[in-house]
Amino acid sequence: MFEILKKEDLADGIVLFEVKAPRIAKHCLPGQFVIVVEKPGAERIPLTICDYDREKGTITLVIQDVGRASRQLSRLKAGDYIEHVTGPLGRPSELTELEPQERADKKVLFIAGGLGAAPVFPQVKYCKENGIPCDVIIGAKTEDLLILEDEMKDYADNVYIATDDGTKGFHGMVTDLTEDLVTNQGKDYDLAVAIGPMIMMKFSALKTKELDIPTIVSMNPIMVDGTGMCGACRIMVGDDVKFACVDGPEFDGHRVDFDQAMRRQALYKTEEGKKLLELEEGDTHHGNCGVC
């Protein structure tokens, strides 16, 4: 059982939990995730670790109310308990693998769309703590849906806001702001990390390819069981079959086949669609647990 120590409403339908999980907090790194089961028999939900405090033994999770399981989970309060929190899972951000001499020479642009600000935050914090210069773009449909802006400002060199309706910051998409920063404001980046909805990551990767900026994306939006066994998060990265939960969740954004991934995401919602994918993909439909 894992106690919820703190609950905070970040935006309409988006809540933050600080959860007591000492063993996970001790070992996790930016980019990794956990599998959460609210109560016995409940659905497994993969959630990226938004923050962690090794001394307090806590991890921070951000949940958006998008379905039955996430709604039930988001209704819990401080003092309630979550039945299972399993992790850390997945591979850490490649930023954690940089040698000390590489860090100061690497200028990173983080592009966070909507809930993508949650998995971006621990990487921004890691950059600050390890001397890696970074800027952050946070995008949302409207000002009321922006999350973690103040927290980002504590760690990033610069934080830029983009809203689709122009209610705050740049009026337009994160892709337009990315181009503006590089083309009009003379910003120079060695790496971009784009995390958010699939369509946003697709067009961010297309834009950064135009701008010749190597780009990492996180495929956590398509994960389901977190072990590779269900086949939901199968993607093509170049010519290679990968599974987001065991091989990622982060991949080279310029090599991910987003169109195929979004088609699979839509098909996987129905039993008929799952059967079609199994037929099309054969032995490559399932991955493995990453251990056996």
pLDDT tens by residue, the chain, 292 residues: 999 999 999 999 999 999 999 999 999 999 999 999 999 988 889 999 999 999 999 999 999 988 888 899 999 999 999 999 999 999 999 999 988 888 888 999 999 999 999 999 999 999 999 999 999 999 999 999 999 999 999 999 999 999 999 999 999 999 999 999 999 999 999 999 999 999 999 999 999 999 999 999 999 888 876 766 677 788 899 999 998 888 989 999 999 999 988 887 676 566 666 566 666 666 676 665 444 3
Task: Please check whether the domain covering 99-218 is classified as CATH 3.40.50.80.
Answer: yes
The total of other beta-carbon atoms located within 10 Å of residue 248's CB is: 24
Residue 72 DSSP code: H
Q: Say whether 272 sits in a helix, a strand or coil.
A: helix
CA-CA-CA-CA dihedral for 106, 188, 195, 242, to nearest 10: -60
- Domain boundaries, given as residue ranges, for the chain: 2-89, 99-218
pTM score, two decimals?
0.91
In CATH, the number for domain 2-89 is 2.40.30.10
Alpha carbons 78 and 93: distance in angstroms, whole number = 30
Q: Say whether 271 sits in a helix, a strand or coil.
A: helix
